[in-house]
Amino acid sequence: MGDKVASTIENLQNPDQVSYLSQREAAEIDEILMGPLGFSVDQLMELAGLSVATSIAEVYKSSEYSRVLAICGPGNNGGDGLVAARHLHHFGYKPFVCYPKRTPKALYSGLVTQLESLSIPFLAVEDLPVDLSNDFDILVDAMFGFSFHGAPRPPFDDLIRRLVCLHSHDQTRQRAPVIVSVDIPSGWHVEDGDVGGEGIKPDMLVSLTAPKLCAKKFSGPHHFLGGRFVPPSIAEKYKLRLPPYPGISMCVRIGKPPQVDISALRENYISPVFLEDQLEADPIDQFRKWFDDAVAAGLHEPNAMALSTSDKDGKPSSRMVLLKGVDKEGFVWYTNYESRKGREISENPRASLLFYWDGLNRQVRVEGTVQKVPEEESEKYFHSRPRGSQIGAIVSKQSSIIPGREVLYQEYEDLEAKFSDGNLIPKPKHWGGYRLKPEVVEFWQGQKSRLHDRLQYSLKEINGRQVWKIDRLAP
């Protein structure tokens, strides 16, 4: 069942499997949404612009691609661009807007007022550099949408030419700005695409509601779908096959992400400096402060940590586990005592933990000795878990070789039936917690040009007392 769902999702992310709309179908869907389905144009525009902004943020980080020029046409597509510019401002980008043919309607003048209130500069076409490559990192092409036909008129013909010209820089420059087209690359035929082959070649296309037929001809690295508002009645009527949006995201990628050159992945960290006078005297207090920051920053699973152990011959191994408690006694996680890590800890109780909090540019390293937590503590935690996880802990002979998934399902179902009366599920003997008592804790914060901060606590005995000594280490 699970495998079937996964393969359907995979199919729907394959560009050959998703649906593409004709111009007529796209227009009909808009009419239904704004007619019997009760949407207003303002709502759809807001959601479309938000989808464009989140698609951009998913691929192009503001730390590297901060300067965005949104080139907005007079219609709905231009409105999507104006909304995207507003969201991008709130996401930490520095947007500029070129909106040469303003539409005298309340919706559009409201969007302009909102952007002006954020001090987002409006640039006239005459004020734009002929070569857009030096002043911007991202160019949002929001000139024409699916209802456009005919030949683009001034000043949009010239603006399109400027976007086309950028491709010739690709070979010569280190990095030309990227072009993000909203729904349709401006100047393309809605169904036939870039007919003459001389049009804009966007790096990213954000299709709205569903891709239009021209999107089949899109050959750039990032095709996203946005407009998470299509109700089932429309999906059924138009037999739409679209990839499901992950989690609470407003956008979803169509097709595979491009292969990245791992050696070229390099982040220039920008954080406030981390100085000795900001440190707590005790590393557990310092850890709690940083952990609270990671929670407040909304990071996913901030309690995930890499646990490294080694066997009696010193052969190391690492895996992720979840931190389930921390206090002056140490760091606690739960697992199977008969797993590989359990066996290794019994042979060699020395271990290390590593937390990495992307987004805060921080890591924490912890080293020390490990002990099992008292049985009562493990019992208490075991019974606080959902019943499914309790059964799972019994089912899994963690780290042993099994012939296939079926054995897990079978045993799970048997145990589910056995405990269906709601009675207490006994904790298996081989399952419980470990506590690592720290001897060395290092707090690392990434800084510009690799001049990172590293502050290390190590436990020293001074006059018969255990005290934490703090040193700064070279990055």
Hey, which residues are catalytic here?
Answer: 450
Is 14 assigned to a binding site?
A: no
Other Cβ atoms within 10 Å of 239 Cβ, number? 7
Among residues 341 and 452, whose Cβ is nearest to ligand FMN? 341
The number of beta carbons lying within 10 Å of the beta carbon of residue 412 is 16
- Backbone dihedral angles phi then psi of residue 443, each to the nearest 5 degrees: -105, 125
Is residue 132 within 8 A of residue 69, CB to CB? The reply is yes
Least distance from ligand FMN to the Cβ atom of residue 384, Å? 14
Q: Is there a binding annotation on residue 169?
A: no
Residue 359 is labelled as binding a ligand: no
Give 8 or 308: the residue with its C-beta nearer to ligand FMN: 308
Closest approach, Cβ 180 to ligand FMN, in A, equals: 32
Helix (H) or strand (E) holding 285: helix 283-296
* 148 among annotated binding-site residues: yes
Query: Would you say 146 is a known binding-site residue?
Result: yes
Rank residues 114 and 396 by Cβ distance to ligand FMN and give the closer one: 396
Q: Within 294-353, which residues bind ligand FMN (CB under 6 A)?
A: 301, 304, 317, 319-322, 333-336, 339-341
Is 78 marked within a binding site?
A: yes
According to the annotation, is 35 in a ligand binding site?
no
Interface residue with ligand FMN, options 249, 398, 456, 458 (CB under 6 A): 398
Alpha carbon distance 60, 263 (integer Å):
18
State the nearest-atom distance from the C-beta of 393 to ligand FMN, in Å. Answer: 9
Helical ranges in 317-436 per DSSP H: 340-347, 375-384, 387-395, 405-418
- What tokens appear for 360 in the block? 């805060």
Q: Which amino acid is at 275?
A: L
The reply, when asked if residue 73 is annotated as ligand binding, is no
Q: How far is the CB of 164 from ligand FMN (least distance, A)?
A: 45
Q: How many residues bind ligand FMN (CB under 6 A)?
A: 16
Q: How far apart are CA 409 and CA 417, in angstroms?
A: 12
Residue number, 208 or 353, with CB nearest to ligand FMN = 353
Nearer to ligand FMN, 250 or 294 (CB): 294
Distance CA(367)–CA(470), nearest Å, equals: 15
Residues near 64 by Cβ (< 8 Å), separated by ≥ 6?
137
Between 55 and 336, CB nearer to ligand FMN: 336
Which of 435, 434, 438 has the alpha carbon at shortest distance from 336? 434
> Which CB, 118 or 322, lies closer to ligand FMN?
322
Q: Which of residues 134-163 bind ligand FMN (CB under 6 A)?
A: none
- Least spacing, CB of residue 443 vs ligand FMN, in Å: 21
DSSP string spanning 180-232? EEESS-TTSBTTTBSTTS-S---SEEEEESS-BGGGGG--SSEEEEE-TT--H
The whole-angstrom separation of Cα 146 and Cα 183 is 7
Is 117 marked as a binding-site residue? no
CA proximity to 140, closest of 209, 194, 48, 72: 72
**Please, what is the minimum distance in Å from the beta carbon of residue 333 to ligand FMN?**
5
CA 247 vs CA 251, 358, 440: distances in Å = 10, 20, 38
Rounded Cα distance between 68 and 85, Å, is: 8
User: Of 156, 131, 179, which Cα lies nearest the Cα of 72?
Assistant: 156
Is 183 within any annotated ligand binding site? yes
Record the tokens describing residue 1, joined without a space.
């069942």
Whole-number minimum distance, CB 315 to ligand FMN, in Å?
A: 12
Binds ligand FMN (CB under 6 A): choice among 114, 369, 399, 456 = 399
Nearer to ligand FMN, 165 or 304 (CB): 304
Cα–Cα separations (whole angstroms), residue 245 to 203, 221, 224, 251, 281: 21, 19, 11, 6, 46
User: Interface mask (CB under 6 A) for ligand FMN, residues 161-200, using x and -?
Assistant: ----------------------------------------
Q: Is 151 a known ligand-binding residue?
A: yes
Listing DSSP states for 150-161 in one string gives: SPPPTTHHHHHH
Q: Rounded CA gap, 127 and 182, in Å? A: 23
Contact between 103 and ligand FMN per CB under 6 A: no
Cβ(446)–Cβ(268) under 8 Å? no
CB of 355 to ligand FMN, least distance (A): 12
Footprint on this chain of ligand FMN (rule: CB under 6 A): 301, 304, 317, 319-322, 333-336, 339-341, 398-399
Binding site listing for (6S)-NADPHX: 76-80, 145-151, 183
Binding site listing for K(+): 77, 141, 186
Binding site listing: 76-80, 141, 145-151, 183, 186
